[in-house]
Homo-oligomer: A and B are copies of this chain.
Amino acid sequence: MGTRVMAHQRGTAFVFDLDGTLIDSVYQHVLAWKAALDSEGTELSVWRIHRKIGMSGGLFANMLLRETGQVLDPDRIERLQRFHADAYRRSMGSVRPLPGAVALLSALADAGIPFAVATSGWRETASASLEIVPFDWSRVPIVTRDGVRHAKPDPDLFLAAAERLRAEARDVAVVGDSVWDMLAATRARFLGIGLLSGGYGREELETAGAYRVFEDPADMLAHLDEVGGRR
């Protein structure tokens, strides 16, 4: 018998953002940044903070500079970040996993579908956040701000996660709630799947490159077959 040329078997590998994607923490982060900015006498409307959440601290500082016209020296940026971290930690008691987060991750694990987590947060905060989700993270690659040169919307975090999964670009889908997730996914040549659970509008995510948008992890799980989650 002759051999047949088979199409290379392809399966999707998922890279998850953390805040607003797996845990319901975006609004607490937003008001923690607001408190931090207030403490430095920097007034910025809360919706503008919300729209920048999830990008790297450096770009966030540049945005502040641009939108408030103020000079942010390194000391001040350091103070801001510390104040934010403290304020967020105080409100962390109210942060819950998003509906369906555990069920979605469990379904992927049970089906042998590879996935990782990639967050703009630093390792310390990310570890505390992961503990909110009752899931065995021991075998899941976790990429944090510490592990890359540039955070979102640069693609480094997602590229590092894909490398840990040994996945090729054509097989990777990023799941995130913010415009920065979708832009970083696009720059990595990955697909972007948007979730509304971070409080952004559907069209904001679509315009930024999401090829599919779900409400939250539960909604994504209910439609997993639509985005390559073959079980």
Contact = CB atoms under 8 A, between A and B. Distances in A.
Contacts of A38: 94
Contact of A45 (B28, B45, B216): B216
A24 B50 CA distance: 13
B46 A199 contact: yes
How many protomers of this protein does the assembly include?
2
Nearest to A99: B45
B203 A94 contact: no
Contact of A24 (B24, B45, B96, B199): B45
A98 interface: yes
A38 to B, nearest CB: 6
Interface stretch (A29-37, A106-114, A148-156, A167-175): A29-37
Contact of A26 (B46, B99, B196, B201): B46
Contact of A199 (B47, B96, B99, B197): B47
Top 7 A-B pairs, shortest CB-CB distance: A201-B201, A203-B203, A47-B199, A27-B46, A201-B204, A50-B199, A24-B45
Given A47-B197, A47-B198, 20 more contacts: A24-B45, A26-B46, A26-B47, A27-B30, A27-B31, A27-B46, A27-B47, A27-B50, A31-B91, A34-B94, A35-B94, A43-B96, A45-B99, A47-B199, A50-B199, A201-B201, A201-B204, A202-B203, A202-B204, A203-B203
